[in-house]
Amino acid sequence: MTLIKSISGIRGTIGGDPGNGLTPLDVVKFTAAYSGWLREKCGKQKPVVAVGRDARVSGEMVDRLVVGTLMGCGVNVIALGLATTPTVEVAVMHYKADGGLILTASHNPGQWNALKLLNSFGEFLTDADGKKVLEIAESGKFPFVEVENLGKVIVEKSFNKEHIDMVLAMRLVDKEAIRKAKFKVVVDAVNSVGGLVIPALLRELGVEVVEIYCEPNGLFPHNPEPLPENLTVISAEVVKHKAHLGIVVDPDVDRLALVCEDGTMFGEEYTLVAVANYVLSKVKGNTVSNLSSSQALRDVTMSKGGRYFAAAVGEVNVVAAMKEHNAVIGGEGNGGVIYPELHYGRDALVGVALFLTHLAHQGVSCSELRKSYPVYHMSKNKIQLPEGFDVDGLLVKAKAFFSDKKVLDIDGIKVDFGQEWVHMRKSNTEPIIRIYSESNTPENAEKIAVDAINVLKKLAGI
């Protein structure tokens, strides 16, 4: 059993002993700790929190525990039921809530669940706020109230339709162009909440929809992370149905992967690149992605006269950098599109609507659109280190080794070789270093990674 406590939330496998898995006691403990932080943060005796969940099997149990605990802490609840991560985020803003809790383990398999913590802006907590929640949890001092001060469920309704309407109302979504294109799209929502919202959004846009795995029963038919090796069925279905493309989302619908009309992958890294290319063609400005994302976004941004900025890995870091640099579009290379006009959060619904507008305006096939962007290939590796190893010290040595190159050290170290790079960063949960590299061919990307691994091993003496 596994329980991972971090500033971004609490996630773990369901069951086991308290403290070693995500048990009911752990759910109550961390929900109560979040309530304590929230009351201190907003200065209210009766804060309001929006709660939504994905469709995984443990969701109903965790939802009941969370809502009940919030009420026991004197917190009023907006109960959204089945809702995507971005849906909860925009609901927090819509209802002017003081915070939000999303019950989802995102792309993790079905035995996992998690509590994702939001502030009053519908954004993930900062490093300092997240640490405060963890401190309260470890203190064991929770703000349970007496009977006359119990919280209530003050709103109980789905917010999915409202979220869809918000996306349709965005200035850069050209509904008429999408209707005229008469797209046919296959959707794989891995039997989670995407099955409620993605087909509905597409039909509002006049798209013919072929649904596979769109029943929100939480029974994931394949590994829910939208990687090529997990998407063989939709690839075949796109070709079989002569569809224009396939759309794949993870269980909480913050990541968007696309399949071309010939069954090939558009590439998760290129979801953001394509959407950014469209946005930048209409609105001049800057972009942000994390250090481990493709430099294709940098190329596209520069070609449109904007400036590209890199952020540390993690959505909260990308959002902070977007605000600092006034970015008009940003996100992560895992298919996460962040478009500030609607909200500062990865949102697959936003990505779908903007991508289809772009595809309709270009008048080309999905595969042809993909070929119009710079070609880069990424290699993803890791080094396992002994328990207790000084990973930070090793990365300091690595920075010195590469001192004759351009090095960014805001999150591990990223060494920029011009049209190639390698990013070495430690895991927050394991004694490992992740090594991501990118070049113009798979072979070159792998060679850069291997060279970096050899340097790290030599410096580590292993």
pLDDT in tens, 184-221: 999 999 999 999 999 999 999 999 999 999 999 999 99
Q: How many residues does the chain have?
A: 462
Give the N- to C-terminal CA distance of the chain in Å, as an integer: 30
How confident is residue 9, by pLDDT bands cut at 50, 70 and 90? confident
C-alpha to C-alpha distance for 99 and 154, rounded to whole angstroms: 14
Catalytic residue set: 106
For residue range 337-365, list pLDDT tens digits in order: 999 999 999 999 999 999 999 999 999 99
For residue range 135-162, list pLDDT tens digits in order: 999 998 998 999 999 999 999 999 999 9
The answer for residues whose C-beta is within 8 angstroms of residue 238's C-beta and 6 or more apart is 186, 245, 246, 259, 260, 261, 263
Contact between residue 193 and residue 218 where contact means Cβ atoms under 8 Å apart? no
C-alpha to C-alpha distance for 435 and 453, rounded to whole angstroms: 8
For residue range 403-414, list pLDDT tens digits in order: 999 999 999 999
For residue 391, pLDDT beyond 80: yes
The mean per-residue pLDDT over the stretch 282-293 comes to: 96
Give the closest residue to 339 by CA, choosing from 128, 76, 86: 86
Contact between residue 453 and residue 390 where contact means Cβ atoms under 8 Å apart? no
C-alpha to C-alpha distance for 366 and 356, rounded to whole angstroms: 10
The mean per-residue pLDDT over the stretch 380-406 comes to: 90
What is the percent of the chain with per-residue pLDDT over 90, rounded to a whole number? 91
pLDDT score of 411: 93
For residue 431, pLDDT beyond 80: no
Give the closest residue to 145 by CA, choosing from 264, 44, 274: 44
Instruction: Give the ranges where 20-109 is alpha helix by DSSP (H).
Output: 24-42, 59-72, 85-94
Domains in the chain (CATH in brackets) are 3-158 (3.40.120.10), 163-371 (3.40.120.10), 377-460 (3.30.310.50)
Collapsing DSSP to helix, strand or coil, 161 comes out as: helix
The mean per-residue pLDDT over the stretch 224-245 comes to: 96
Contact between residue 350 and residue 339 where contact means Cβ atoms under 8 Å apart? yes
pLDDT score of 430: 66
